[in-house]
A and B are shown apart, each in its own frame.
Chain A
Amino acid sequence: MPGFPDADPGAISDLADRLKTIGTSMDGVGQDTVGLRGSVMGSQQWQGKASEGWWTVVTARIGDAELTQEVMDGVAATLSGLASDLDAERRTYDKLSDDLLSKQQPVLGGPEPYSVSAPDPSVQKAMDACAARAAGLLEDAARQLLRYAALAGDIQATPAADRTPGVAAGADRHGASLGLLQALLGSVRDNQIAGSKFEQAVLEALGIPKNTMTWRPGIPFEGMKFTPGGLPRGTIVDGQGANFLLELKGTQDLKQTYQLMLQERQAEGTGRPLWIIKQGPWKADPSVVQAAEDTGGGVLYTGDNGKTFTDAQGHQVQVKYDKGSNSIEVKGYSSEFPRAGDGSGGDGGADSAPPPDPDAPQSPVEPGIAGAPPPPPEPPRMPEPEPWEFPEL
């Protein structure tokens, strides 16, 4: 006989009220920051890349605050409804329970001195149904809470590496401010501007649905990081399927990070190759390429948001996603770090055949896109700041 869930509707209702207040506070932060942005950008002619960077970063902070407010409001509404429904079910359950007890009569001459009659099956059935509905309400709420938890991954805030920056060693007015913004906020800008748009565009081009499932390492390892709640810090790849994990990077620099390391572990643990699609023409750090290829995947480059791909050597690579089997097929990829005895390719794993003749089309590639395109241009570099000294006063 299932008992009524031991949830506390009153406490859930209180929690909903507090989350609603938190949402209101975040709405205030967003509105205030909108006003500030307007004041700064509207009251003066601050132009150039530094001002663009400032506007972009502050706009992203506003977006984060708005998303937080929406989530807190949504969770508050969910919990408020849950508390109300649970309370109603609880009342019904208690009333049925009272009826059940009141209908039970003492049995004279029974096996025990204080024997009572068997409970009314119809009332008992109604109570069970009540408890089952309450459990269902909690399960629905759990699913919604998990969806709201996943939305935290859309927050673009990335703390700058250094909260106490020094003045750059010499630059003119533009260069100094631009360089400082890039140094302080570069990761933020990368994540927000390039990242989200690039990811969305590539996923749409390939037809791969956005993944929201978090993976957490199950086996402890040295350097393992934990969330404030004590869980192993997890990662959410941008796409995943039967034979692949997919990570999209719209940033200029791509070096080994804890996130990528987790994804490599996920690939090894699940036996699915990790494919990283990076915005060209900037090349990924070799350590990233090697780690991805070790999983059977590799690093692909695209300069047109996922319409075409190349490998590091500039050879055309075909990537096809099959929705029915939820798998990808990668053809024409040449490994930078071939493994001995690895001849697989074309089924989601890296094609590690001998390096192809750059003048000849890759055999697995369709004639329409075969051929060796010119190598991608050198990545643009930031100009070195000119020497600059304080004037003698």
Chain B
Amino acid sequence: MQVPVPDSGSGYTVSTHMLYSASQYLNDQAQAIARVRDSFNGACYAGEGAFGSGPARSAFNEFFTAWFSALDGQAETMGSVADATEQCAVLYDHAERVVLGKVPAMRTKPRPLRAKPPQDFPAIPFP
């Protein structure tokens, strides 16, 4: 739906359909990052013991902790961006309805009167 923006002064349009689609797409990306986060968690869990007991092990744990949080934050934030994008579209649609509510009814020609059956011949009084 192409929604004209009446108060913009520039006559540009916003496709709320596009924003809804973008929101869904961003939400899919958020899910993808969440899956990456889970894969990262699994990989690090499996590989934790690979470094033995020296400093590399504690450094790897530090790396895991930092980047698990970073991936978690990215997934959550991407979801928030998806939500905001959808809400933008919702707001545009709401605003559009407001605009439509203020549009006065279109003036048209009066409809023609309903056709009536032809009247009978005038009654002729009996003499």
Contact = CB atoms under 8 A, between A and B. Distances in A.
Interface of A: 5-8, 11-12, 14-15, 18-19, 21-22, 25-26, 28-29, 32-33, 36, 39-40, 43-48, 50, 54, 57-58, 61, 64-65, 68, 71, 75, 135, 138-139, 141-143, 145-146, 148-150, 152-153, 155, 157-160, 163-165, 167-168, 171-174, 176-177, 180-181, 184-185, 188, 227-229, 231, 388, 390-393
A390 B55 contact: no
Contacts of B42: 18
A43 B16 CA distance: 12
B76 A157 contact: yes
A157 B74 contact: yes
Nearest to A32: B29
A180 B85 CA distance: 10
A393 B97 CA distance: 9
Nearest to B99: A173
A180 B39 contact: no
Contacts of B60: 142, 145
A167 B10 CA distance: 25
A152 B70 contact: yes
Interface of B: 5, 7-8, 10, 12-15, 18-19, 22, 25-26, 29, 32-33, 35-36, 39-40, 42-44, 46-47, 49-56, 58-74, 76-81, 83-85, 87-88, 90-92, 94-95, 97-98, 100-102
A165 B84 contact: yes
Contacts of B58: 142
B18 A43 contact: yes
Nearest to B5: A173
Given A174-B8, A188-B81, A391-B102, 12 more contacts: A5-B54, A12-B47, A18-B47, A45-B10, A48-B8, A157-B70, A165-B84, A167-B94, A176-B95, A180-B88, A184-B84, A185-B81
A227 B46 contact: no
Of B10, B18, B78, B79, which is in contact with the most chain A CB atoms at under 10 Å from its CB?
Answer: B78
A390 B100 CA distance: 11
Contacts of B67: 68, 71, 148-149, 152
B56 A19 contact: no
16 contacts: A11-B47, A22-B39, A28-B32, A29-B33, A33-B29, A54-B85, A139-B55, A139-B56, A145-B59, A157-B70, A157-B73, A173-B95, A174-B7, A174-B8, A184-B83, A391-B98
B80 A163 contact: yes
A36 B32 CA distance: 15
B66 to A, nearest CB: 4
A44 B29 CA distance: 22
Contacts of A231: 62, 65
Contacts of B68: 228-229
A90 to B, nearest CB: 12
A26 B19 CA distance: 23
* Central interface residue in B14, B46, B79, by most chain A CB within 10 Å: B14
B66 A150 contact: yes
Contact of A173 (B46, B51, B66, B91): B91
A141 B51 CA distance: 10
Contact of B22 (A7, A39, A141, A153): A39
A164 B79 CA distance: 10
Contact of A25 (B18, B36, B49, B83): B36
A142 B84 contact: no
Contacts of B64: 229
